[in-house]
Structure 1
């Protein structure tokens, strides 16, 4: 059962929203449309799960961000070809 990470309510639903992300090198920000999120009907928070945040951050480390559009969908971002197989800077991976 889903539960709001902010208020603990169970009145939550999976949805999507637009988020804005700073590139790892700090050169610009991008908008990511249709990003999976959790929406709480109790406190009104809309947030990305830890898994989605990790997916976005890993992908931005692994792709060529120089030619990245200023606005794209989550699926388009995740589908971009990677320069590396994995994020070698993430020491939480086994």
Structure 2
């Protein structure tokens, strides 16, 4: 796997925990087991931009009020959406 930071080919798939602020700004939640990239050469651990957009879209399209303070990535992505896609995205 290719590291977008140091361009090493030693990067590996990983799962990490992250924290996301809800779209309404009311609180942040912990998201566990997020598919991520980990690079042993530069030490960076990150999520790819497409995955971040996927999480952001999901947050915009679901009722976030009943979300617990901690959820796995799979649980978050399984929450039923109000709309099929984010029509507010430019």
TM-score between the two structures when normalised by the length of structure 1: 0.92
Q: Which residue is equivalent to 2:2? A: 3
Aligned positions, number: 90
TM-score between the two structures when normalised by the length of structure 2: 0.96
Runs of 4+ that moved beyond 3 A:
none
* 1:59 Cα deviation from its structure 2 partner: 0.2
Alignment gaps of 5+ in structure 1: none
Q: Which residue is equivalent to 1:22? A: 21
Alignment gaps of 5+ in structure 2: none
The yes-or-no answer on 1:55 pairing with 2:37 is no
In 2, distance between residues paired with 1:12 and 1:21?
Answer: 24
Cα-Cα RMSD = 0.7
